[in-house]
A and B are shown apart, each in its own frame.
Chain A
Amino acid sequence: MAMVPQPLLILLFSLSLLSIVNSSPSQHLQIVDAERRIDLTSHIIKVYLTLKVENLGTSAASEVHLAFSPTEVEHLATLKAAATSGKRKKKTYVPLDVKSAEVPDGPNGTKLFSITLLTPLSKGGTTTLEVLYILTRSLEPFPVEISQSESQLVYFRDSAILLSPYHVKQQTTFIKTPSTRVESFTVVDPTKRAGTELKYGPYENHPPYSYSPVLVHFENNNPFAVVEELEREIEISHWGSIQVTERYSLVHAGAQHKGVFSRVDYQTRSGRSGVSSFKYLLAKLPPRVHSVYYRDGIGNISSSHLRTDSRKSELEIEPRYPLFGGWKATFVIGYGLPLQDFLFESPDGRRYLNFTFGCPLVETVVDKLIVKVVLPEGSKDPTAQIPFEVKQHLEIKYSYLDVVGRTVVVLEKRNVVPEHNTPFQVYYGFNPIFMLAEPLMLVSAFFLLFVASVAYLHIDLSIRK
């Protein structure tokens, strides 16, 4: 047991106490009206939250806190907030900063995130906040295993009442399901069900940290396409092209397939058989893409279609076999892009690559995304600018005829959703003279070869004359 000196312990204690006092969610804020819309149509759950916040306190508040349960935090892919102003048609959104709040967790391990307001909310003032957060892997298939002819049912767990550190005066929650088939749902009066929508509320006057668990059991046959690991390698060549290689390991994360897979049923009764399986995936690639390939460890996969126009390219890929629950597939997509579309020179003479982070496949979750930007040989001091938090480190890669190796900027992020498909930049310094290094090396090698053969033909090393 390590002994902690008494004064230090006291110091620590007082410090933590201080921080609570300083920045705990101010109790004098109140949510006048909260509206939550939960979209369950795909396996990526989108929650739109509209909060009307009022300051009842005496001092101005600069931060608004949001609370999430521990399981939600674990599956939270992204959290965005915006302040709205104006009425109806003239509504404008101003994005706000969201960060993990530096305050202790609420009761039962509730995590808090803080939204920094543009202008501190003055006493008695109100403001409207729009919050979007996305949860992944939060639909739990039940039954866990289904056969080919069954459709996929899932559980969704949440609270009928908004989890919030503030007092909520009035609130409503809407849950949108993909189809009208809802097996069961928890009733917390007043609860209404109409078509594909469930309405919880309106509820009035709930104290902070109220929670009322609900369970919705419904049909969701949308493809649960999850990429367990995606490695995107973006290789820059200053000779005019960018080569992108993406290595996927894909899995169907829905209910496990059980027992027989019958091709007859799958082909003849396609409407009823294997409804939760998926056959196609769509990848949105940048425009002017060229030399696209789609293959796996044992060769080319011949089922893909590429459609290109001036604004975008769409690659429709078909894995070797339809993916049922729990089935996996690995493949590689590669393509070339023109350099001038993505590489620019910044005013300070450095170059930067402007490329899209995230997975090009639509409607997929990536558990672990690794983006590797391979800079040309001889580039210096790379820095990456990404709009969200990622792990970064540098590597060295040896490619065609490299001597010192190429610097690789490695960016790693977990739990990536299509909302992460935003541009990021990698800045680096590069002297164009390095472009000539490899050609010169080849030229000199051949030159030496010819010199050597000329020398060999003219030198007589024989002992006898």
Chain B
Amino acid sequence: MAASDAQNGVFSVRHAFGNVLAFFILLLIGVLAFSIRLFSVIKYESVIHEFDPYFNYRVTQFLTKNGIYDFWNWFDDRTWYPLGRVIGGTVYPGLTLTAGTLWWILNSLNIPLSVETVCVFTAPIFSAFASWATYLLTKEVKGAGAGLTAAILLAMVPSYISRSVAGSYDNEAVAIFALIFTFYLYIKTLNTGSLFYATLNSIAYFYMVCSWGGYTFIINLIPMHVLLCIVTGRYSSRLYIAYAPLVVLGTLLASLVPVVGFNAVMTSEHFASFLVFIIIHVVALVYYIKGSLSPKMFKVAVALVVSVGVAVCFAMVAVLIALVASSPTKGWSGRSLSLLDPTYASKYIPIIASVSEHQPPTWPSYFMDINVLAFLVPAGIIACFSPLSDASSFVVLYIVTSVYFSGVMVRLMLVLAPAACILSGIALSQAFDVFTRSIKFQLPSLSDNSQAGEGSSENVVPNDSVKADKTEDTSKERTSKKSKKKEKEPVEKPLSKSQIKKRLLVLPLETSVIAIILLVLLGAFYVVHSVWAAAEAYSAPSIVLTSHSHDGLHVFDDFREAYAWLSHNTEVDDKVASWWDYGYQTTAMANRTVIVDNNTWNNTHIATVGTAMSSPEKAAWEIFQSLDVKYVLVVFGGLVGYPSDDINKFLWMVRIGGGVFPHIKEPDYLRDGQYRIDSMATPTMLNCLMYKLSYYRFVETDGKAFDRVRRTEIGKKHFKLTHFEEVFTTHHWMVRIYKLKSPKNRIRGKTKKSKSKTSSKTASKRNELKRNPF
């Protein structure tokens, strides 16, 4: 008795010690997740990055200045002129509300941080939260060790870093945390059957709905998992508690978010959940009846209930299908459709296809974004099958679906990353488990020679299989999968029983040591790669560019130069036209009204701007004049070699414009199917507004007009602008701003042509002459 007590005591002390250790490891993981994302602040500055974050920043500013009620009712008249945009009803408010609350708390504690600072650091803070959520989720699936490993992998997975560096103030920053945390609460409910967690789960789901359009992934993945459980005969009351409240409460809460509203019950993205909701009730009823009736009666009842249930189901499904089929896109949004059918966007919606992050990824991008995890994931899947629990089957389903989605859109790599981290964490932790255990068992046996021989001789087979598993040899892995599964199962049985059987799984000492070293090397490689990715690849804020040359660092701060100029030296109500990429930045940084922006909700409006850019000067002037535009902003990289400028995006403008206005035809801009701006370019190309605004007086810089992006001399070098005048060009020519000449002269010129001989002719002619010499 005393001995066992002492053992218990030692055990609980070790347990407590382990908890404290885990707590501190988690703390450090949080610090790591936060600090690895600060490269952008250290290397560049504390500034909001890219395009969408500027919009979110602007919304947050509005929220902190005007309060929550004005935020819901905000009609923004500084964008999509003259249409405007109802921001409160079309924005996912989760991120802005989170940052706004954070700012409010800090300020009520008299910590005077600016809204910008709070916005910049929201993403790193939530990355720390996300890695803790990963720990919780993986702990529910495979225990604390796997949890810690998964958390540390997630803290530094490049894919997630790319979306959550300091300054990347986008929905994904908080949404990934919300996604993982919702999954954790679902698994937790599934494991405990507690209604408390089920309610929390709905709230977490609500937060996710607030944060990101990707919530549809949750509301489809969880029903799929529930269905999987039912089909594989794993139905339990815990499953019911995990699912039914989520659907009811979750849907109710989701429809509270203005941007979702009735979509939560009307669109096809949500139908799977309702279908499964019906199914789980049928199944629950069946189980209930089965429990209360004798087997004989049950058979009769089954015939009755199943037939009625199936009939009801079919009726419901028929109604749904009829409803759905009545809408043109079958009730699916364009983005969802392009997920289900990867060719959909490029066929029908050029705007979605024109965004680079909506393209399918290439293989190198997998290696870049999840690195060694790609090789560890299969091992993790195998580990999940031994043994298969509700939780581990969920994780497997999660990885399978997210791999598919990431294959369609490179942006959804972000959804894959947590799944890959969880599975790799499981794989690594199981591998370490096996290796360290075999070392532990053999270390005493080294002194005990009699046992050593026994152990090593018995362990030839498992050694092979597990080692193959860890050394990225997938072909071997598959062959040995079954044998491995067989042998791993006993491990999970109670400790006392498996004491001897465990001995069978022990690997030779040398092999284990080498394997551990290899695994550590693999991990080290991952760390090195992630830090490199965080420091070099993903931390550039994209509004300020740098280049290293032999005489030091060059900073290209042209975008902000242009925006600052616009905000200080134009009238407050002037309208600025540019391609939609720069809409958010113009409204946020220059505070000027724009025609189109990155929220591409109105295709026609964008097509109008695209048409204007691809029309000759006069037609373009008329379009812009009709939109009350005063300034036109183009981005031009030809002087310094900045490749993502408007000339390179120009074909999309033509395509989008031509999609709505058929007189713009893409072939007119291509010479033999090739897009070129040199002397071989088509006359339509050389006379369109975009070409002219980009290359106006460009020849005077070097005398040859050599475009450093296209690596060629431009086709038409000397020309004058008649309807536009250059009002500002930044230091490196990256942004050029033109003003529309006032219409006075034009109208007189027109009347001169239409009215043949009037007394005003001479006057207007003199006017014309006066104007022309320029």
Is A bound to B? yes
Name A residues whose Cβ lies closer than 8 Å to a Cβ of B: 259-264, 267-268, 296, 298-303, 320-321, 326-330, 398-403
Identify A399's interface contact among B112, B727, B730, CB under 8 A: B112
CB distance from B633 to the nearest CB of A (A): 14
Q: Does B47 contact A (CB under 8 A)?
A: yes
Q: How many interface residues does B have (CB within 8 Å)? A: 29
Query: Which of B47, B543, B557, B569 gathers the greatest number of chain A CB atoms within 10 Å?
Result: B569
Question: When the two chains form their complex, are residues A320 and B700 in contact, meaning their CB atoms are under 8 A apart?
Answer: no
Q: Does B589 contact A (CB under 8 A)?
A: yes
Question: When the two chains form their complex, are residues A302 and B565 in contact, meaning their CB atoms are under 8 A apart?
Answer: no
Which residues from chain A contact B563 at a C-beta distance below 8 Å? 298
Question: When the two chains form their complex, are residues B697 and A321 in contact, meaning their CB atoms are under 8 A apart?
Answer: no
Which residues from chain B contact A400 at a C-beta distance below 8 Å? 110-112
Identify A320's interface contact among B111, B560, B701, CB under 8 A: B560
Q: Does B555 contact A (CB under 8 A)?
A: yes
Which residues from chain B contact A402 at a C-beta distance below 8 Å? 110
The residue in chain A whose Cβ has the minimal distance to the Cβ of B588 is A298
Q: Does B306 contact A (CB under 8 A)?
A: no
CB distance from B2 to the nearest CB of A (A): 27
The residue in chain B whose Cβ has the minimal distance to the Cβ of A296 is B564
A321-B564 contact, Cβ under 8 Å, with A264-B700, A264-B701: yes
Which residues from chain A contact B697 at a C-beta distance below 8 Å? 262, 264
Question: When the two chains form their complex, are residues A320 and B112 in contact, meaning their CB atoms are under 8 A apart?
Answer: no
How far is B700's CA from A124's CA once the two chains are assembled, in angstroms?
A: 74
Question: When the two chains form their complex, are residues A262 and B726 in contact, meaning their CB atoms are under 8 A apart?
Answer: yes
A298-B111 contact, Cβ under 8 Å, with A261-B726, A262-B729: no
CB distance from B62 to the nearest CB of A (A): 15
12 contacting pairs across A/B (C-beta < 8 A): A262-B697, A262-B726, A263-B728, A263-B729, A264-B697, A264-B729, A299-B45, A321-B728, A321-B731, A328-B569, A329-B568, A400-B112
Question: When the two chains form their complex, are residues B110 and A328 in contact, meaning their CB atoms are under 8 A apart?
Answer: no
How far is B730's CA from A320's CA once the two chains are assembled, in angstroms?
A: 9
Question: When the two chains form their complex, are residues A401 and B111 in contact, meaning their CB atoms are under 8 A apart?
Answer: yes
How far is B729's CA from A400's CA once the two chains are assembled, in angstroms?
A: 42
Count CB-based A-B contacts (< 8 Å). Answer: 74
CB distance from B156 to the nearest CB of A (A): 27
Which residues from chain B contact A259 at a C-beta distance below 8 Å? 725
Which residues from chain B contact A401 at a C-beta distance below 8 Å? 109-111
Which residues from chain B contact A320 at a C-beta distance below 8 Å? 557, 560-561, 564-565
How far is B737's CA from A263's CA once the two chains are assembled, in angstroms?
A: 11
CB distance from B655 to the nearest CB of A (A): 31
The residue in chain B whose Cβ has the minimal distance to the Cβ of A318 is B731
A328-B568 contact, Cβ under 8 Å, with A398-B110, A400-B111: yes
CB distance from A377 to the nearest CB of B (A): 10
Question: When the two chains form their complex, are residues B109 and A327 in contact, meaning their CB atoms are under 8 A apart?
Answer: no
Query: Which of A264, A299, A399, A401 gathers the greatest number of chain B CB atoms within 10 Å?
Result: A299
- Chain B binding surface, main DSSP class: mixed
The residue in chain B whose Cβ has the minimal distance to the Cβ of A403 is B110
What sequence of 0s and 1s flags, for each residue 551-578 of chain B, a beta carbon within 8 Å of any chain A beta carbon? 0000101001101110011000000000
Which residues from chain A contact B543 at a C-beta distance below 8 Å? 299
Q: Does B544 contact A (CB under 8 A)?
A: yes
The residue in chain B whose Cβ has the minimal distance to the Cβ of A295 is B45
The residue in chain B whose Cβ has the minimal distance to the Cβ of A300 is B45
Q: Does B51 contact A (CB under 8 A)?
A: no
Identify B726's interface contact among A260, A326, A328, A399, CB under 8 A: A260
Which residues from chain B contact A299 at a C-beta distance below 8 Å? 45, 47, 543-544, 560
Question: When the two chains form their complex, are residues A261 and B45 in contact, meaning their CB atoms are under 8 A apart?
Answer: no
A327-B45 contact, Cβ under 8 Å, with A261-B726, A263-B729: no
Q: Does B181 contact A (CB under 8 A)?
A: no
Identify A302's interface contact among B109, B112, B544, B725, CB under 8 A: B544
Which residues from chain A contact B555 at a C-beta distance below 8 Å? 302
Q: Does B538 contact A (CB under 8 A)?
A: no
- Contacts beyond the supplied A263-B730, A321-B731, A400-B112: 10 A-B pairs with Cβ under 8 Å: A263-B731, A263-B733, A264-B697, A299-B544, A301-B557, A302-B544, A321-B730, A327-B569, A328-B568, A403-B110
How far is B702's CA from A268's CA once the two chains are assembled, in angstroms?
A: 10
CB distance from B242 to the nearest CB of A (A): 25
CB distance from B697 to the nearest CB of A (A): 5
Question: When the two chains form their complex, are residues B564 and A329 in contact, meaning their CB atoms are under 8 A apart?
Answer: yes
- 7 tightest CB-CB pairs across the interface, nearest first? A263-B729, A299-B47, A300-B45, A328-B568, A320-B564, A320-B561, A302-B555
The residue in chain A whose Cβ has the minimal distance to the Cβ of B738 is A260
How far is B109's CA from A400's CA once the two chains are assembled, in angstroms?
A: 8
How far is B112's CA from A81's CA once the two chains are assembled, in angstroms?
A: 46
Identify B727's interface contact among A261, A296, A303, A328, CB under 8 A: A261
Which residues from chain B contact A298 at a C-beta distance below 8 Å? 47, 560, 563-564, 589
What sequence of 0s and 1s flags, for each residue 703-745 of chain B, a beta carbon within 8 Å of any chain A beta carbon? 0000000000000000000000111111101000000000000
How far is B730's CA from A263's CA once the two chains are assembled, in angstroms?
A: 7
Which residues from chain A contact B569 at a C-beta distance below 8 Å? 326-328
Which residues from chain B contact A303 at a C-beta distance below 8 Å? 557
CB distance from B464 to the nearest CB of A (A): 48
CB distance from B46 to the nearest CB of A (A): 8
How far is B544's CA from A401's CA once the two chains are assembled, in angstroms?
A: 34
CB distance from B48 to the nearest CB of A (A): 8
How far is B589's CA from A116's CA once the two chains are assembled, in angstroms?
A: 55
How far is B565's CA from A176's CA once the two chains are assembled, in angstroms?
A: 35
How far is B729's CA from A298's CA once the two chains are assembled, in angstroms?
A: 19
Identify A398's interface contact among B112, B557, B728, B729, CB under 8 A: B112
How far is B557's CA from A321's CA once the two chains are assembled, in angstroms?
A: 11
CB distance from A439 to the nearest CB of B (A): 15
A261-B728 contact, Cβ under 8 Å, with A299-B544, A402-B110: yes
Which residues from chain B contact A329 at a C-beta distance below 8 Å? 564, 568
Which residues from chain B contact A398 at a C-beta distance below 8 Å? 110, 112
A321-B726 contact, Cβ under 8 Å, with A330-B568, A400-B111, A401-B110: no
The residue in chain A whose Cβ has the minimal distance to the Cβ of B561 is A320
How far is B560's CA from A296's CA once the two chains are assembled, in angstroms?
A: 10
Identify B47's interface contact among A263, A300, A330, CB under 8 A: A300
What sequence of 0s and 1s flags, for each residue 159-190 of chain B, a beta carbon within 8 Å of any chain A beta carbon? 00000000000000000000000000000000
The residue in chain B whose Cβ has the minimal distance to the Cβ of A302 is B555
How far is B49's CA from A298's CA once the two chains are assembled, in angstroms?
A: 11
How far is B543's CA from A259's CA once the two chains are assembled, in angstroms?
A: 28
Which residues from chain B contact A262 at a C-beta distance below 8 Å? 697, 726, 729
How far is B698's CA from A262's CA once the two chains are assembled, in angstroms?
A: 11
CB distance from B569 to the nearest CB of A (A): 5
Which residues from chain B contact A261 at a C-beta distance below 8 Å? 726-729
CB distance from B559 to the nearest CB of A (A): 9
Which residues from chain A contact B544 at a C-beta distance below 8 Å? 299, 302
Identify A321's interface contact among B112, B565, B701, CB under 8 A: B565
How far is B564's CA from A327's CA once the two chains are assembled, in angstroms?
A: 11
How far is B733's CA from A261's CA once the two chains are assembled, in angstroms?
A: 13
Query: Which of A262, A321, A328, A402 gathers the greatest number of chain B CB atoms within 10 Å?
Result: A321
A321-B560 contact, Cβ under 8 Å, with A264-B700, A328-B569: no
Identify B725's interface contact among A260, A263, A300, A301, CB under 8 A: A260
Identify B557's interface contact among A260, A302, A327, A403, CB under 8 A: A302
How far is B589's CA from A399's CA once the two chains are assembled, in angstroms?
A: 27
The residue in chain B whose Cβ has the minimal distance to the Cβ of A322 is B731
What sequence of 0s and 1s flags, for each residue 240-280 of chain B, a beta carbon within 8 Å of any chain A beta carbon? 00000000000000000000000000000000000000000
Which residues from chain A contact B561 at a C-beta distance below 8 Å? 320-321
Which residues from chain B contact A399 at a C-beta distance below 8 Å? 110, 112
How far is B731's CA from A262's CA once the two chains are assembled, in angstroms?
A: 11
CB distance from A226 to the nearest CB of B (A): 14
How far is B565's CA from A328's CA once the two chains are assembled, in angstroms?
A: 8
Identify A327's interface contact among B111, B568, B725, B726, CB under 8 A: B568
CB distance from A294 to the nearest CB of B (A): 11
How far is B564's CA from A399's CA once the two chains are assembled, in angstroms?
A: 29
The residue in chain B whose Cβ has the minimal distance to the Cβ of A327 is B569
The residue in chain A whose Cβ has the minimal distance to the Cβ of B558 is A320
How far is B560's CA from A402's CA once the two chains are assembled, in angstroms?
A: 35
CB distance from B314 to the nearest CB of A (A): 48
